[in-house]
Amino acid sequence: MRLQKLQTYLNRKGWKYSYTEEDGCGSVDWEYRGLTYHVWEFPEDGAQSNVKNAGKMEDYAEDYEEQIIKIIETWG
């Protein structure tokens, strides 16, 4: 199972999400305050997510789970 830190965080918040994995890369989708968010991993070290701006995907490199969780923590 991939994106373990993110899944643990979402579980702790009590937010429902869906997880899929393909070719060794994880993907997590969830909804928060009516907006849909998505994180998916690249085959190499990195991920892409729209957590900073729900309408725009951005790339994250090393320690991407920590970076993404820090952004989500600012939501309140």
- Distance between CA 34 and CA 48 in Å, rounded? 20
Q: How confident is the model at residue 8 (pLDDT cuts 50, 70, 90)?
A: very high
pLDDT tens by residue, 12-53 = 999 999 999 999 999 999 999 999 999 999 988 899 999 999
Alpha helices in 1-76 (DSSP H): 4-13, 64-73
Domain map (residue ranges) of the chain = 4-73
33: its two tokens: 């305050």
